[in-house]
Structures are given as structure tokens and as C-alpha cells.
Chain A
Amino acid sequence: MAIKVLHHGLATSVQDLGRPGYFHLGIPLGGAMDRLAMRAANLLVGNSENAAGLEAVFMGPKLLFTEDAIVAVTGADMPAKVDGVVHPGWTSFSVKAGQELTFDFLKSGARLYIAVSGGIDVPLALGSRSTYAIGALGGHKGRPLAAGDELPVGAAGAVRPGRSIAPEFRRGPGSPAELRVLSGLYWDRLTDEAKVNFFADEWKVAPEADRMGYRFRGGRKMSFVDRKQPFGAGSDPSNIVDSCYPYGSIQIPGGTEPIILHRDAVSGGGYFMVGTVISADMDLIGQLQPHMSARFVKVTMDEALAARAQRRALIERMRASGLSGMGRNRR
């Protein structure tokens, strides 16, 4: 069974929960930017949470199903239509052979997740079906989808339409979005004044926002503590001897526009970092649109760990809620 891509939307790619273990060779984790939404979509159609689905940004694709399937759409609020009939998000529905799945305009959020019962069955690459486009690795031919592509779908378990995930689990960024940050890494390169401004200022998402990273602008320029640049670091005060970059780390090239690295992060480079967005808030970034307001909120490690525990409990509750009796079949 297959899905035919009639239109690819803006940028639609095959993603699962990622490809851990190769960051030391420059191959990033990848996978859904909003992992909770990807998990939810898979749960709704009876897939394992790590099954591959589609991630579409800002605009939905147009898909033709050649066989019957159960489908769920989560993440951004963008009404899904089957042959023109609207289906609510975060709820599984049935698509019959020969029907088309299309989408209305984006209402809120940024990234849509489409899960299909059985999962998108492209070959595994280094243990994952995620698309890492820079390395032409994984997904469908190592690239985002294009019109004319045909996607194989795996064997589905027994699953019925009409399952829903309660609103309490549909977490989106507020306005301004609040991204919790553990300061550190090269934080002490900043002057005291810059340290205050970084957390006090309101930032806006820049148009340069993709799977590799999100750029922000609108806050005051950072000032640096004077130093003689170390050998090998480069002449700009924002330069360091090239180091690794954590996922979620915030670099500020030239001290002007912070960039948060996301799932397709470059693994290292020569810009200083002021800290890292905590793991519990990474999904939120994937749902930010350009021009949206955001603030960085300073937290401690204990607060970061508490937020992580809360989030884990939320996912546990989501798994338990109303999804019992469904076929949780395969990977």
C-alpha cells in the first residue's frame, strides 16, 4: 500500500523520533521537532510511538491514498480534509482508497504531524527513518517530499477511527512563548549588563527558522567581557575554538541574534553559547512561527529536572488516557 504525494506543501519530510548515536560524526538526532505531537499521532493510529510519519511546516501536503488507512493529524492547528470533509485534529479518522487528504490554512502553531496506521515504511538508515536532508540520509531518498513521490506504508494493526487525545495534552507555545534556559557554557563571556538584557528583552522569531535552528532578533546587542582572543578562536569576541554544540544550545554570532539549535543541529562550530533550552521546552520551539514573540526564562538545573519529570508524567498520562484496547503493534 502506498501514499502518492500530489503536492508537497512547503517542506514536508518523513520523521520519527530520531537517530541517536552519531552526533560525534556530525550526524544529528533529527526526528520530529515536536516529539510529543509525533508520539500522540502515532498512538492514535495504533503505531509504536517511534513509527515514521510526516512532518509538514506552515502548509500541509496533498496526499492520495491508494488503500484504506487510519490517519491522525496533530501538532499545528491546520484543519485536515478528506475529499473536502473536515476532520478535527488530535483525533483518528479513516481514509478510503482513492481519497485525498488535504489541509486548510494554518491557524496556529507551525508543524503538523501526520501518522498513518502501519507507519511510513521507508528503509531504516542508521536505525531511523528520519530525513536528514543536509546529509541526504534517511526518509524518502534522503530529501523532503516532492510531488510524484510514492510512500510505502507498513502493515497496520487492528485500530478504529474516532480515538482522541484530550486537550490537556495539546501543548503549544504561549505569547510571548517562554523558553526556559539553563545558562552556562560560555555565558561568562557576556558583561553583567548583557546577562540581564538577554533574559529581560523580548525577542521575535526571525524568518531563518528551520529544522537546524531558530534565529531570534529584536533584543539588545550583547556586549562582551574584554579579552585577548585565545589562539585558534578567531578574531570576533563571539568566536571560540570550535567546540561541540548541545541540542538546544543558544549561540549569538557577533552578539546580535541568538540561534537555538534544534533536531538537525550542526554538531559544532566556532560561536560562543550562552546556555541551553531545557529538554522539556524543545518541542515548543518547533511550533513557533516567524515574527512570534519569545522570552528566555532563567531556570536552575533542579527546575529543569522538575520540568522534565512533569513532562514525562504528562506523556505517561497521555499513553494511558482513552487509548487502551488499541493495537500497539510494531515499531
Chain B
Amino acid sequence: MSARYSFGGDEHLFVECSDEMSLEAFFKSLSMAKGVGESNIRGVTEICPANASFQIKFDPDVIKPDDVLAEVRAIEGAAEKAEPVIKTRIVEIPVYYNDPWTHETLMRFRERHQDPSGTDLDYAARINDYGSVDDFIAAHSGSPWFVSMVGFVAGLPFMHQMVERQRQIEVPKYLRPRTDTPKLTVGHGGCFGCIYSVRGAGGYQMFGITPMPIFDPTQTTSYLRDFMVFFRPGDIVKFKPIDRDAYDQAVEDVDKGRFTPPSREVSFDLREFRRDIDGYNARLEGMINGH
């Protein structure tokens, strides 16, 4: 899996580790992006990791494009020899699945959907061969997700579930994008999950909502005082299904500055993960609560 390099005009270098999504491609792109950051190449001003690729912004008045390319190519060689281990954190995110707000929204835009007769959850469960919506939610919340990219708009995480490809949830986007999506909707499009950081247009299927703000430009949310964006590429996310009462309680806790998402520093080893995916994920989850 050799990376493909291309310049995006005179200020960007684009590095595609693979044209298809896989945990390996994500892992390589994140490792290389981290490697570029650590090597402090002069003139490099931004490093943006994506799902299976990443992008570097540089100042061509400081460094020649070909010199950036040479330095990053050298990092690819080193990244391939390095241990496939990253230090990151695992975070538990509460989700109220099948909530009234995304339900109201999906009914409002039903004519733009592949299957106007049901809900987004009904549709996603059926086309992914789950017997019921509950089974689907169990799969969605049962295994953790890698935040493979933060972006599109401010603070929006794209997520890739940490399971074998045949167990990946896949759904098409809406036939025509909605003009509205509730803030903090948990959505899914293609093989990617996401959480809408702000209210706005969107095309992903809508499964639920989290009570937990993930972008706060006012920086008044207690856990966003240091920085307004919650997620970082490489974060591991575990969804925890909650009911209406727990949702309302969490919203109140956020308002009163009492809410802190459970989170632990972890070291992720791709080789150990591959040897026993479910066992490895279970151990990761156990660490959230300090086991």
C-alpha cells in the first residue's frame, strides 16, 4: 500500500494512503500525519488528517514544493517500519437513539429519502440485514469507532467503526440533502458515522442525538473551556445508548457545568487489535471505567 502524492496548487500537498477505506489506510495516514507534525518541517503550517489520506499546507516562500514532497516521502518509509501503535484516548458518548427531534426532522424531509414509508433507523437496519432496529442499535453502540477525520465544518467528527469490513454499517446518503439537521445528530453515510457539530444542511441518515455539545465557540461548556472543539483525529469513541430521562438529565448537567464525558488515555496497537477484534475492543471499553 504505497501512498499517492499530488500537489493541491502551490500551497498544499495531498497524500492518499489508499483510495478505499480501511483501518489500515486510516492508521497509516494518521501515523504519517503525526510523523510530519513531529518532524517540524520548516514552512509547513497545517497538517489535516482525513480518513485514508491527509493534507499538508505549506508556505512555498519558505520551502520548495519538491522539498516538502521529499521530506514527506522519507516519513512514509519510516512510518512503514514503525510499530503500528498510537497513543490516544477513548471517550464514551451518550446517545439517545430514535429521539423525537431527529424523528421530527426525518419525517419533514421524507420525500428526499430512499424509503419514505419508514424511519432512517428502519431503513438502515433492513439494508444492513439486522432483524430489528434494536439489533441495529446494539451493533452501532456495541463496538467502538475511530474518529478518522475532524472537519467538513467546525468540529464535526467522521468516524469509522472498529470492526471487520463485512460488519461495517453501510448506508447511502439521502437522495437529496436535507436543508436542516438538528445540532448533535448522530448520523451515518457510506461507511462513516458522524456527529453534526452545528445545526444545518446534511445528507447522512439520522439515528439519534447526543446531549453533549462537541463544538462551543463561546467556550462556556465546562469541558470545552480550554478549546472549543472536542474531538481530535485518532480519538476512539464508544456510544452508550441512553433513554429520555438520562438524556434530559445529561442536558441539565451540561447546563450546570457538571457533565464530563468519561475518557481515558489509551495506547492502540493495530496488530493486537487484528488478532482478536472483539476481545481487544472489550478491553478498550473496560478502560473507560478504569478497569
Contact = CB atoms under 8 A, between A and B. Distances in A.
Interface of A: 20-27, 125-126, 132, 134-137, 142, 182, 184-185, 187, 230-235, 240-244, 246-249, 266-270, 273, 275-280, 301, 304-305, 308, 312
Contact of B20 (A25, A232, A304): A232
B8 A26 contact: no
A312 B52 CA distance: 35
B149 interface: yes
B65 to A, nearest CB: 6
A231 B165 contact: yes
Contacts of B231: 25
Contact of A243 (B9, B10, B14): B14
B14 A182 contact: no
Given A230-B21, A233-B190, A241-B52, A305 B10 contact: yes
A267 B217 contact: no
B137 interface: no
B7 A243 contact: no
Given A136-B217, A184-B8, A304-B10, A244 B53 contact: yes
B101 to A, nearest CB: 19
Interface centre among B18, B20, B156, B200 (most CB of A within 10 A): B20
B257 interface: no
B151 A244 contact: yes
Given A232-B21, A232-B51, A233-B20, A266 B7 contact: no
A244 B153 contact: no
B215 interface: yes
B77 to A, nearest CB: 22
B19 A240 contact: yes
A71 to B, nearest CB: 29
Contact of A267 (B45, B53, B151): B151
B155 interface: yes
Interface majority SS (helix, strand, loop, mixed), chain A: mixed
Given A25-B154, A185-B6, A268-B48, A247 B11 contact: yes
Interface string B242-262: 000000000000000000000
Contacts of B154: 25-27, 132, 134-135, 137
Interface residues of B, number: 55
B100 interface: no
B150 A276 contact: no
Contacts of B217: 125, 135-137, 142
Contact of A184 (B7, B151, B191): B7
Nearest to B29: A243
Contacts of A248: 8-9, 11
16 contacts: A20-B46, A22-B229, A24-B47, A25-B231, A25-B232, A27-B154, A232-B20, A232-B191, A241-B21, A241-B53, A242-B50, A246-B9, A247-B57, A270-B190, A275-B9, A279-B11
Interface in B173-195: 173, 189-192
A55 to B, nearest CB: 20
Interface in B1-45: 6-12, 14, 16, 18-22, 45
A126 B219 CA distance: 11
Interface majority SS (helix, strand, loop, mixed), chain B: loop
Contacts of A142: 217
Nearest to B64: A305
Given A125-B217, A135-B215, A24 B48 contact: yes
Contacts of B229: 22, 25-27
Contacts of A267: 48, 151-153
A131 B275 CA distance: 48
A243 B8 contact: no
Contacts of B57: 23, 246-247
A172 to B, nearest CB: 21
Contacts of A280: 10
B14 A268 contact: no
B153 A134 contact: yes
A230 B151 contact: no
A296 B24 CA distance: 37
Contact of B46 (A24, A125, A249): A24
Contacts of B45: 20-21
Given A27-B229, A137-B228, A242-B158, 9 more contacts: A20-B45, A23-B57, A24-B150, A24-B151, A184-B7, A244-B50, A249-B12, A266-B153, A275-B9
